[in-house]
Amino acid sequence: MSTATFGPGPALVGRLRPPPDKSISHRAAILAAMGEGSVRVSGYLDADDTRSTLAAITALGAGVQEIGPSEEMPGGIELEIRGVGLRGARGGSGEPLPIDVGNAGTLLRILPGWLAGQAEGTWVLDGDESIRRRPVDRIAGPLADMGADVSCREDRLPPLVVRGASLRAVPQTLDVASAQVKSCILLAGLLADGPTTIVEPAPSRDHTERMLRAAGVKVTARDLRTLPGLGGPPERRIEVEPVARLHLGAIQVPADLSSAAFFAVGAAIVAGSDVRLERTGINPTRAGILGILNRMGAASWVEDERAAPGGEPVGTIAARHGALTATRVTGAEVPIAIDELPLVALLGCFADGETVVTGAEELRHKESDRIASVVDGLAGLGAEIEAREDGFAVTGSARLRGGIIDAQDDHRLAMLGAIAGLASEEGVEVHGMEAAAISYPGFERDLRTLTGSGLL
Ligand code: S3P
């Protein structure tokens, strides 16, 4: 286990391009594997999670040629991926084919949608200790409804066994707004016997829908809220039509907003900071943290917004240090900021008043139980924070003492500790800093670039 110490100070100043988006990289590899012919993926995230996806599609028969590091996207690689076709995933010959997903929950939950609709083959998806605690009944249930042959440990946990079967188009109503579950069903829907509809309780990130549309699939989405001014449930209904084959064009992966968010939040809370985070994905179904920062009074905005090939909007995120006021994050804002809620807790430590997050019980099913790990971690650094069943409440005091935080093998907790250290009075020692490599292997180097020093 590696230990690293951060702060107090220095300020984050300057411009950088965060690493490529993890969610979009996973999807690019999986959809390219499902397609016909070769697809160029530019700026594929070179990190532990997304390496697991390349190994998985290779095991399934796809050809992955690594051309070299991306010149445009630091932390990314250029790939040429040759697909096996929608119905051509390699299964085990006799024995089931093992797929090691490592720590990648997105791979674990999305890939089975494709495998479930294969004419033959059996796969066993399994991963590390933390993946074994992550529920898969949320995908096993809908897939079984569609006629898939799936089973898992204690009806809930990995390993997940998937056998190819013919799929029916059965409408699905999701209990939780989960892009992973939605994406799994969308992929299964491509192989079903008619159009499949999914109703999610609130919009979750729509990267899969955008990429499928770019590949020629008919995917429609409609918000069911009929009386906008009067509130009402924010459900979204998505429909996907089956296809004979997928033709993906070249994909350019934007920088990861979830990685950029560490620096944007760091800039908001460390005196003297002023950063620009280039080419960052700002898809509105993902960018809730930007609205939260604004509401808290942070000096944060987006410059030179434009559309990237593949239908994802990108821009430069700007953030500066300033006074913050407390806020509440509830309901439909939770899924669009789900991975940044730990950072909202940190912002709350420096905001005037009580910052409250509710409706976020999903945080308990991430790489760690992120309600417990964030609350215990920040409390250990001197924060006035308490856990709730479905979130947390933090009272800001404009200061954080500092101390030691254990990353608990959770990449976002490791990086949270580092940023907390910069804003703290005594600095923070992060135990298990290597966890950051799951999504952001260059995190410490980039942080040094912005702090302009070896002062960390
Ligand atoms: C992801 C969706 C989210 C998010 C995860 C990545 C994705 O999970 O927390 O880090 O790529 O679809 P859920 O869909 O389970 O909320």
What residue owns the CA closest to ligand 1's atom 15?
A: 178
Compute the distance from residue 410 Cα to the ligand 1 centre, in Å: 14
Compute the distance from residue 259 Cα to the ligand 1 centre, in Å: 14
Compute the distance from residue 444 Cα to the ligand 1 centre, in Å: 24
Q: What's the pLDDT score for residue 226? A: 59
Hey, is 196 helix, strand or coil?
strand
Of 256, 339, 409, 446, which is the active-site residue? 339
CA gyration radius, the chain: 21
Q: Once rounded to an integer, what is the mean pLDDT over residues 215-240? A: 82
What pLDDT band is residue 93 in, cutting at 50, 70 and 90? confident
338 lines ligand 1 (CB under 6 A): yes
- How much of the chain, in percent, has pLDDT values that exceed 90? 92
Q: What's the pLDDT score for residue 318? A: 97
Q: Once rounded to an integer, what is the mean pLDDT over residues 141-161? A: 97
First to last CA, the chain: 19
Residue 117 has pLDDT above 90, yes or no: yes
What pLDDT band is residue 229 in, cutting at 50, 70 and 90? low
What pLDDT band is residue 146 in, cutting at 50, 70 and 90? very high
What pLDDT band is residue 15 in, cutting at 50, 70 and 90? very high
Q: Once rounded to an integer, what is the mean pLDDT over residues 246-257? A: 95
Q: What's the pLDDT score for residue 228? A: 54
Q: What's the pLDDT score for residue 230? A: 58
50 lines ligand 1 (CB under 6 A): no
Q: What's the pLDDT score for residue 454? A: 45
- State which ligand 1 atom lies nearest to the alpha carbon of 178: 14
The answer to whether residue 352 is catalytic is no
**Tens-place pLDDT, residues 16-25:** 999 999 999 9
8 A C-beta contact, residue 14 and residue 450 = yes
Between residues 308 and 276, the one the model is more confident about: 276
- State which ligand 1 atom lies nearest to the alpha carbon of 339: 9
Which tokens in the block code for residue 122? 């059996």
- State which ligand 1 atom lies nearest to the alpha carbon of 338: 9
Q: What's the pLDDT score for residue 399? A: 92
Q: Would you say the pTM of this structure is higher than 0.95?
A: yes
For residue 96, the 8-state DSSP code is P
Residue 160 has pLDDT above 80, yes or no: yes
What pLDDT band is residue 84 in, cutting at 50, 70 and 90? very high
Residue to substitute in 106, 366, 374, 415 for testing ligand 1 pocket (most ligand atoms within 8 angstroms of CB):
106
Q: What's the pLDDT score for residue 227? A: 57
- How much of the chain, in percent, has pLDDT values that exceed 70? 97
- State which ligand 1 atom lies nearest to the alpha carbon of 109: 15
106 lines ligand 1 (CB under 6 A): yes
Residue 281 has pLDDT above 80, yes or no: yes
Residue to substitute in 175, 178, 211, 236 for testing ligand 1 pocket (most ligand atoms within 8 angstroms of CB):
178
Q: Once rounded to an integer, what is the mean pLDDT over residues 367-376? A: 97
Q: Return mean pLDDT, the chain.
A: 95
8 A C-beta contact, residue 406 and residue 431 = yes
Compute the distance from residue 437 Cα to the ligand 1 centre, in Å: 18
What pLDDT band is residue 311 in, cutting at 50, 70 and 90? confident
Hey, is 47 helix, strand or coil?
coil
Cβ of 454: how many Cβ atoms within 10 Å? 6
Hey, is 441 helix, strand or coil?
coil
What residue owns the CA closest to ligand 1's atom 4?
A: 339
Residue 358 has pLDDT above 90, yes or no: yes
Angle between helices 179-190 and 137-145 (to 10 degrees): 30
Q: What's the pLDDT score for residue 308? A: 76
Element spanning 446, H or E: helix 443-451
**Full DSSP string of 207-260:** HHHHHHHHTT--EEEEE--S-GGG-----EEEEE---S------EEPPBPHHHH
Q: Once rounded to an integer, what is the mean pLDDT over residues 60-72? A: 97
Between residues 120 and 226, the one the model is more confident about: 120
**Tens-place pLDDT, residues 422-455:** 999 999 999 999 999 999 999 999 999 999 864 4
Q: What's the pLDDT score for residue 455? A: 45
Q: What's the pLDDT score for residue 337? A: 97
362 lines ligand 1 (CB under 6 A): yes
* Three-class DSSP labels, 286-353: CCHHHHHHHHCCCEEEEEEEEEECCCEEEEEEEEECCCEECCEECHHHCHHHHHHHHHHHHHHHCEEC
Q: What's the pLDDT score for residue 233? A: 64
- State which ligand 1 atom lies nearest to the alpha carbon of 110: 12
8 A C-beta contact, residue 275 and residue 328 = no
Residue to substitute in 175, 205, 256 for testing ligand 1 pocket (most ligand atoms within 8 angstroms of CB):
205
Q: What's the pLDDT score for residue 223? A: 86
Q: What's the pLDDT score for residue 369? A: 97
Supply angle C-alpha 140, 141, 147, rounded to 5: 85
Residue to substitute in 180, 185, 438 for testing ligand 1 pocket (most ligand atoms within 8 angstroms of CB):
180
